[in-house]
Structure 1
Amino acid sequence: MPRPSIQLLYSVDDPSARGELSDDDLVRLYRYPGDGRRRLRTNFVSSLDGSVQGPDGRSGGLGTASDSYVFALHRALADAVVVGASTVREESYRSIDLQPWQSELRERLGLAPYPALVIISGRAQLDPVIAQPEQGEGGPVMIITTSGKPEDDLAPLRDAGIEVVESGSTVELAAALQVLGARGWSRLLCEGGPGLHRDLLAAGLVDELSLTLAPVAVGGQGMRSTSGDALDPPRSFDPTFVLGGEDGTLFTSYRSRD
């Protein structure tokens, strides 16, 4: 099935540019800079009325065909996908597998065969099944958690092939990202959840924010892309580009002013 048509609507680099984007054009827009500096990008899909959860309580309930493609492109360009434990449970995360076109793109760009799945979890109470991809082969899985847990609690995770990194009495996010950078994982993608997103913003660790607007309003009590205390001061971002899918989906990208 061919991917949906995606148009460039605005680019800060060329405000007059418009038109259909090829696969290579999309890669150029979303590819991380090749300077080796660690960068963290967050990616969320939201309804028009601000919910990051569809009627089924999951972000996938908001998905469109063009969003599915861009979501997969984000993953294809990342060294590691960073998520909170609640999101892993709610969205049934597993070791990340790829479609052939994603694997071919990673090989062409000189990336590892698969992105790692990195889970931030204070309790590390997770099903070891996360080490197994939905199908075929998948990437490594790492859990960054607090120290002092009984080894018997962590053994099932390690036995499943999951790397468990203990980081002290609390999980300091800046230190956690340093662990990833030390592995050579400089292209980082955070897919949630809202609590982790808020804490990353508060710590000044978000370099880019990608927000997809699905062409639906859902009502209800769905969460926003952040949850928790207000950010003081609020974090400011500048727009970099806006894309439009043929199915009515809008893709926005922002760069942190910090």
Structure 2
Amino acid sequence: MAVVNACTRYGGGGSPTTVVIDDATLIDDERHAIARRAGTSHTAFIDTSTGDAPRVRFFTSTGELTNCGHGIIAAQAVLLDRSGATEHHGFCQCSGGRTYATTAIRRHDGIEVWFDQGVIALLDHANATGGGIIAALGLKRVDIAADPRVASPGTPRLLVPVRDRRTLLSIQPDFDRLATECRRLGYLGCFTYALAPTARTGAARMFAPAIGVDEDIANANSVGCLAAHLLDTSGSGTIEIHQGDTLQRPSSVIASATHTADGVVARIGGLVDLGPSIDLR
């Protein structure tokens, strides 16, 4: 097993993610224990016995997730490194009952990984102000740049646009209240973001105390959701989002959304810096 830095920015930072080659003898209580001991926000367990499409499961300190975007990126980087190859194209991964097409390429500054997120459901009239989410974030209505929106690649989360980067960096949520509100409304968490005025770049912070992650260093799935939202509202669905600055772990995720016959889909990418193997058993 190893701790790798997923979604690095300019060769540094990234989200520390534990990746375990699962020998299938572990029970879930043991996986939970490993996730707690690892000290990272997420742990990916890879079952390679399933052949060409390994099954990957994701755990936090409090439970199992059906999906984790930066966990997919971390797992695919480790699988490429273990293979000794320089790149994988058209590789598949099974997680949460879904199959994800992935690409991994070895670069001079890490391993670049892309995955197809699948269809993203976009819902209007998000219950944010009435449900107390804005207040739980420590924000006022004047801080919000546009209406929040619910987006779901399988698990719904609230996209909250704030007026500028300064407002974004100043957010100090009441995590207990936010966890209660998110659980009540069925949200994974709140993805707050501020877009640059002249380019498809921006900054974001993901708060998910309801799943045991007060603030995520990098939340790749939410960047894909944001790309889908931007495609739907502005016609341009390519975005690079910086995260992790308030946690001193600068990260970067790129996403591009397109229209298909099935709905809006997104492709998500990030760089991985591999770390040393460790023993957490």
Asked whether the two chains share a fold, i.e. TM above 0.5, the reply is no
Normalising TM by the smaller chain, what interval?
under 0.3
Q: Would you tell me which structure has more strand in proportion to its own residues?
A: 2
Task: Normalising by structure 2, report the TM-score.
Answer: 0.23
